[in-house]
Amino acid sequence: MPNYNLLFMSTPIGALGSGLGGGVELTLSNIAQEMLRRGNKLEIVAPFGSVSSSLPIREIPGELQIPAQNQNRTEPIFIPKNSVLANMWDYARQVQANYDLIVNFAYDWLPLYLTPFFNTPIAHLISMGSLTDTMDHIIEQVANHFPGTIGVHGKTQAATFTFADKCRCLVNGMDLSLYQFCSQPGSHLAWVGRIAPEKGIEDAVAAAKITGIPLKIFGLIQDVPYWEKICQDYPDAPIEYRGFLPTHELQQELGQCRALLVTPRWIEAYPNVALEALACGVPLISYRRGGLTEIVQEGKTGFLVEPDSVQGLVEAIHRLDETDRQACRQQAETTYSVSAMGDRMEQWFEDILTHSPKLKAQA
């Protein structure tokens, strides 16, 4: 593979390292690390306050964007005054000639709309399924006019769009050396993620209450009133909130858990937390919804239960002895290694650059 100069455009809903960006933060840094390791050059453009000990970040000031998952289907696009999203893309416009490819990690209208106005090709990694009509429309336009440039993580995610056949499925990957396999867990369960209504954590809390098995909770409290209501509704559930932890601490605690409960109310594209749990040898108990249906190997690396059924979670918890922690780690190594992901990404970049009409015109 040739080496490329890549410009990575982060999400404008939060600084890298803040947790506000959800799984996109980890996905972006994993891909960036791997691309650098392979000899590519890159710069990451991200909101002011973004931190990384090892990655080159260009911080851009401005107002953060509202997360798309908090909007109604028919809501118009909202861009604040002095928008960090607009500022980031203005920077990209100015420096684009220095790069072979721009990779967009934001689930936002503006970068998709701007695609035809740029001279440098843009790859869009779409991190969520269909959420609003305006986003569906603009993603489809780019998929039609720039074939092959729309990447997604999973097939179920792609199927939420009417143009699923035009999406390139890239799965996801982790630096598995950062996750330690734990064969002898404690008896407690884990729940990991942003604490927000689309994540349905109240069902995991209800299952902990019914079974009496303690539940450790890790993640950023994004919606404070939502979390306070859960604490009021379940005052005596055996839960412990452990905060938002950096990866090395999270994996240590997560590995000691008996299973990870994954309880999304929405079509979760391809949750990183599920891959991180597998990497530690932790089986998944998840609603049969979204990307989880592509990840869980039934009865081996976890169980898929009827969506929104607390009883289903409870029954699966009682069957955990049937799962195989070694098989969980094995699945992570086979499918979700950072090098497997790097191969998929590099091939995607190469295909885009080979087929880019602008590059062909210059040649």
Choices 92-100, 227-235, 271-279, 302-310; region in contact with ligand UDP by CB under 6 A:
271-279
247 binds ligand UDP (CB under 6 A): yes
271 binds ligand UDP (CB under 6 A): yes
221 binds ligand UDP (CB under 6 A): no
244 binds ligand UDP (CB under 6 A): yes
Distance CA 48, CA 12 (A): 10
**Stretch 275-304: interaction string toward ligand UDP, x if CB under 6 A:** -x----------------------------
250 binds ligand UDP (CB under 6 A): yes
255 binds ligand UDP (CB under 6 A): no
Q: Using CB positions, name the residue nearest to ligand UDP.
A: 23
Q: Which one, 44 or 101, has the nearer CB to ligand UDP? A: 44
Strand pairing partners for 264?
A: none
Distance CA 201, CA 226 (A): 10
Rule CB under 6 A: choose which of 14, 22, 151, 342 binds ligand UDP. Answer: 22
Helix axes 272-279, 247-255, angle to 10 degrees: 60
CB burial string 118-138: b at 16+ within 10 A, e below: eebbbbbbbbbbbbbebbbeb
How many Cβ atoms sit within 10 Å of the Cβ of residue 308? 14
Q: Which one, 120 or 263, has the nearer CB to ligand UDP? A: 263
Let me know how many helices (H) and strands (E) the chain has, helices first: 14, 13
Q: Which one, 139 or 275, has the nearer CB to ligand UDP? A: 275
193 binds ligand UDP (CB under 6 A): yes
Distance CA 215, CA 317 (A): 12
Please name which of 232, 196, 193, 198 lies closest in space to residue 215, comparing C-alpha atoms: 193
Reported residue count of the chain is 363
Query: Where do contacts with ligand UDP occur on this chain (CB under 6 A)?
Result: 22-23, 26, 192-194, 218-219, 244-245, 247, 250, 271-273, 276
